[in-house]
Structure 1
Amino acid sequence: MNDHRYNFRVNVTVILVIIIFIINNGAQFLLYSNQNVLAEALLDAVTTETVAQIRWVIAASLLTSAATLIFWGYFSDKYSKKNILIISSAIWIAACFYIFFDSKITYEGLLVAQIFFGLGFGAVWPICYSLLGDIVKPEKRGLVFSFVGLTMGIGMTIGLFLGSLFSSASYWRFPFLIISIIGCILIIIFLVIGTDLKKGGVEHELKDVLKEGAVYTYEIKREHLRTIWRKPTNVNLFLQGIPGMIPWAMILIIAPIFFQTLNYEENTANLIVLLSQSTNIIGAIFGGWYGDRLALRSQRKRLLFVGLSILIPIPFFATAFLLPYPTVGSDAGFGTFWTTPLYPVGFLLISIGSFFAGNAGVNWYTINSDVNEPETRATIISFHTVTDRIGNALGPVLAATIGPLLAIQTGRSDAWIIAIGTLFWIPCAYFWLRSMKYIDQDVQTMKTLLKQRAKELEQGLKSK
């Protein structure tokens, strides 16, 4: 009976954490659709300079998240993941409530609120992925993690949709209330029903001794913060994060504005970008499934697949935004997009690039579980997410910095920002391909360690 009750709470915990993950990501994207609205409402004008200031607000939450992620990851490995998730979620939910209820919020007030939002919202990433790593069999992790990537896409879609739906000076704060209420309900349910999960139960080297009644008692220690970097795979996949995320940040922030400058209305521009990026979700699912299949034969083939998948999108995205699109009539709608020359071609190019780019991220989380012991995975995920957050933050910062210069030189600053930004995928792919040299050794080191621990746990059972 106790096992049945525990299994029920485990299933509910996984579902709740994934839903919280969706809402958490949705909250992150609420401001992306309303950069012009916020510039008008808070800075009294829509210019290159004021929109750049709004992008600094978006960057502030990402940088704060990056600065605190290692803290959240380490304590998630050391203490109760349930309690850490509740505390961190309460922080970002409170920040969202503040944004809504301060009817006279200023630019400075929004900046402070976004900093507190960033303080809380990053913890769900290491918790969600390390939790799934504890309950999903190694040979199926890629596919399962790809569906978590799907939920991330759903969250992004919710955030962009709500932002677009309430894109006016009077109502832009309303989505923060919606997200806050949903977040509160989820956290209350999680507080009552959620549970912490047993570590190590799905590892092939440990599962037999754990079924006999042993308990995996190994915990993260401070020295692990140094030893995890002795594995070259960890180092390389840590370094790929910043250059890997800079192009995405630029595309998500600048692409809607790019289409608005061609006279498409704001909601239409957001919809165009959203639909063209939807293939990224399909790519993530395919990448997780195919990565698992390749890993059964060779981990090196998984890394080669990911490295090439990162390089392929570069010409597709660059070409898509540098095409000589004709300017359409004022406030053009979605129908005009499909009947105007070159726009459908650009849409197809973006969709193809998004599909291949989606193959990468999900395989990182799978490899992390393959080369690192259970008690360190949340910490390592937090290190990785730090680089993602820095890359996400640098995207709008670089766009705000080089945009005015490119506008003077080319007259098409948004298109060239994205085209130049995609070049950051080259060093990202390099670090993935470089990991091929070390992956087999690091996986074997992990397996040897778990076998040794299985013997120690078995001896502990016999001595009782």
Structure 2
Amino acid sequence: MQKVEKVTDKLPELGARFTLIIFLITIIMNWADKNLFSPKLNAILEDFGFAANETTPLGIIAALFMITTGIGMVIFGVIADRGQRKWITIICSFVYSILTILTYFTPNGIAGYWYLFFMRLVGGFGLGAVVPAIFSMIGDYASPDKRASTFSKFTVATIIGQMGGLALSSGFSEWRVGYLTVGLFEFVMAVLMIFIKEPKKGVSEEELHSVLVAGAEYQFKFKKEDIKILWNNKSNKWIILNFIDTIPGSMVAFVLFKYLDDYYNIKESDVLILMGVGILGGIFGAILFGYIGDQLFKKNKNARAIIAFFCNLAPVFSYMLLFLPLFNDLYVPDGVTFGELISYPEVQFLTIIVFISLFINQGNGPNWYSSVLDVNLPEHRSTMISVASFADLLGNALGPLIGSLVYQFISGRAAMITVAIFWFANSLFWIPVIRNIKADIENNKKILELRSNQLKPPDN
């Protein structure tokens, strides 16, 4: 059977590369949005009239935003598997971008808190619809043996988005400017999406490529009866339960700036620069482990799951080095420049730990996304991406909430140690995926081979 090296049929009017750039910028902005809170927690608390240690109200907003985003993902993920993914992405991008722009006008006081509460609550639905549709379309641009490398670019986009959100929030004295910037970018991307063309579902699959390029249409759509098929897929169950991996990451993102300020007197601008070094490690790791995943996948169909397991487990041990006695006496005096800050051996060691941890951990992303697509049929992918992403968002919602509660009622150090506990527990859920993924991939290949004989190109 013909090997699919690259999908070239039915390219968007603006070109496949430009389309992917639009998708990348959209993902960057989505992830930037999720990281605008953390650097300005104290400023936002002050604007709304809360005490500096009353972090729970903002934790509730962050949690509910993630939950509504997840609900939007599931609803529109199913719709995307039954209709046009492009227009779902466009309409929901407009809704989300407008509400994000309006966040700029949040007033002070308790009225401002409830205004922000509403904007985040409703805006989450629009944001949630975008992710499954975009990632499903990406899956139709990349052949199965190159998916991890393709998704590594989008993992890098999420990393850049996270860093960009922190930079936007830290770079302006007014925290509302970050939301205005993200909203305007999202609005422009929504306009540009009007001019792209959606790829055919399933066109990247080796079994379907020839007949779809010849003009046949993939006729299969998600049905209620398919829920049983998804449930019987053993890999799906454990990939969904893998949502625990987002709890430690979102917990760290929410409390890290406050923790380093409270315990070591390291200010947000300096933390941002130190995190930038770690982010570079994450970018290199995503690209490298995505490439390794693709190369090993050609020989062993559970290779990506094995890499994901390693990338979740190994960073736990490097992260725990942050609690060595070495850091007990670290306290940076006020007025220290960044050059003076990095002369501290403890700060140098902290930066190395963050670099190594993120280098390994970010290799999980491209192999996770690829695994979701590998074990699901084309008409199920938006749905499964949405369900798995919804589960991830539950973790992202629980992370800030758990982090803020532990920080407020126990201590900041206890909150940071809790991160390691969740991180270790998550890695164990990859073991059953490793055991089952080969069989699930082979089952899908057999189904697609049968369907390739049923699909017929139109008569000329």
Fold match by TM threshold 0.5? yes
Structure 2 counterpart of 1:32: 38
Amino acid at match of 1:19: I
Structure 1 counterpart of 2:150: 144
CA distance in 2, matches of 1:417, 1:17: 35
1:181 corresponds to 2:154: no
Cα–Cα, structure 1 residues 273 and 321, in superposed 2: closer, same or farther, change >3 Å? Answer: farther
Q: Are the aligned partners of 1:263 and 1:332 in contact in 2 as well (CA < 8 Å)?
A: no
**Could you tell me how far 1:318 is from its partner in structure 2?**
2.2
Deviations 1:126-172 (A, max 9, x none): 122111101111111100100111111111122111100113xxx22
- Aligned match for 2:348, one of 344, 348, 357: 344
CA distance in 1, matches of 2:20, 2:331: 48
Structure 2 counterpart of 1:414: 412
Deviations 1:152-205 (A, max 9, x none): 1111122111100113xxx221222222222222212222x1222211212111
1:371 corresponds to 2:369: no
- Aligned match for 2:233, one of 231, 234, 238: 231
**Could you tell me how far 1:296 is from its partner in structure 2?**
1.1
Structure 2 counterpart of 1:409: none
1:64 corresponds to 2:68: yes
Amino acid at match of 1:174: V
CA distance in 2, matches of 1:131, 1:366: 13
Amino acid at match of 2:116: L
Structure 1 counterpart of 2:317: 315
**Could you tell me how far 1:277 is from its partner in structure 2?**
3.3
CA distance in 2, matches of 1:222, 1:143: 33
- Greater share of helix: 1
SS in 2 for 1:342: helix
Structure 1 counterpart of 2:4: none
Q: Are the aligned partners of 1:284 and 1:361 in contact in 2 as well (CA < 8 Å)?
A: yes
Q: Are the aligned partners of 1:35 and 1:55 in contact in 2 as well (CA < 8 Å)?
A: no
Cα–Cα, structure 1 residues 211 and 182, in superposed 2: closer, same or farther, change >3 Å? Answer: closer
**Could you tell me how far 1:287 is from its partner in structure 2?**
1.5
CA distance in 2, matches of 1:332, 1:224: 60
CA distance in 2, matches of 1:312, 1:337: 28
CA distance in 2, matches of 1:225, 1:237: 16
**Could you tell me how far 1:416 is from its partner in structure 2?**
2.7
**Could you tell me how far 1:455 is from its partner in structure 2?**
0.8
Q: Are the aligned partners of 1:17 and 1:128 in contact in 2 as well (CA < 8 Å)?
A: yes
Structure 1 counterpart of 2:332: 328
CA distance in 2, matches of 1:427, 1:208: 43
In the TM superposition, 1:291-306 aligns within 5 A as 291-306=293-308
Deviations 1:70-118 (A, max 9, x none): 1011111111112111221122212212211244461111111111121
- Aligned match for 1:444, one of 442, 445, 452: 442
Q: Are the aligned partners of 1:255 and 1:273 in contact in 2 as well (CA < 8 Å)?
A: no
Amino acid at match of 2:367: N
SS in 2 for 1:339: coil
In the TM superposition, 1:39-438 aligns within 5 A as 39-46=45-52, 48=53, 50-104=54-108, 106-167=112-173, 171-191=174-194, 193-241=195-243, 243-261=244-262, 262-322=264-324, 323-406=327-410, 413-438=411-436
CA distance in 2, matches of 1:126, 1:260: 37
| Root mean square deviation of aligned Cα | 2.1
CA distance in 1, matches of 2:274, 2:65: 26
CA distance in 1, matches of 2:146, 2:440: 19
Q: How many residues align?
A: 448
Amino acid at match of 2:36: L
Q: Are the aligned partners of 1:321 and 1:418 in contact in 2 as well (CA < 8 Å)?
A: no
Cα–Cα, structure 1 residues 29 and 10, in superposed 2: closer, same or farther, change >3 Å? Answer: same
CA distance in 2, matches of 1:10, 1:339: 47
Amino acid at match of 2:218: Y
Q: Are the aligned partners of 1:18 and 1:128 in contact in 2 as well (CA < 8 Å)?
A: no
TM-score for the superposition, normalised by structure 1: 0.91
**Could you tell me how far 1:324 is from its partner in structure 2?**
1.8
- Stretch of structure 1 that moved more, 301-310 or 432-441: 301-310
Structure 2 counterpart of 1:410: none
**Could you tell me how far 1:43 is from its partner in structure 2?**
2.0
Q: Are the aligned partners of 2:316 and 2:423 in contact in 1 as well (CA < 8 Å)?
A: yes
**Could you tell me how far 1:44 is from its partner in structure 2?**
4.4
CA distance in 2, matches of 1:303, 1:39: 41
Cα–Cα, structure 1 residues 79 and 33, in superposed 2: closer, same or farther, change >3 Å? Answer: same
**Could you tell me how far 1:306 is from its partner in structure 2?**
1.9
Amino acid at match of 1:113: M
CA distance in 2, matches of 1:94, 1:162: 18
Q: Are the aligned partners of 1:201 and 1:207 in contact in 2 as well (CA < 8 Å)?
A: yes
Cα–Cα, structure 1 residues 7 and 138, in superposed 2: closer, same or farther, change >3 Å? Answer: farther
Runs of 5+ consecutive residues of structure 2 not aligned to the other structure: 1-8
Q: Are the aligned partners of 1:325 and 1:343 in contact in 2 as well (CA < 8 Å)?
A: no
Amino acid at match of 2:245: G
**Could you tell me how far 1:325 is from its partner in structure 2?**
4.3
Amino acid at match of 1:23: M
SS in 2 for 1:177: helix
CA distance in 2, matches of 1:270, 1:8: 36
Cα–Cα, structure 1 residues 69 and 303, in superposed 2: closer, same or farther, change >3 Å? Answer: same
Q: Are the aligned partners of 1:134 and 1:198 in contact in 2 as well (CA < 8 Å)?
A: yes
Deviations 1:373-404 (A, max 9, x none): 11111110001101110111111111122223
**Could you tell me how far 1:344 is from its partner in structure 2?**
0.8
**Could you tell me how far 1:300 is from its partner in structure 2?**
2.6
CA distance in 1, matches of 2:47, 2:336: 24
Q: Are the aligned partners of 2:82 and 2:221 in contact in 1 as well (CA < 8 Å)?
A: yes
**Could you tell me how far 1:11 is from its partner in structure 2?**
4.2
Amino acid at match of 2:249: W
CA distance in 2, matches of 1:110, 1:332: 35
CA distance in 2, matches of 1:182, 1:321: 40
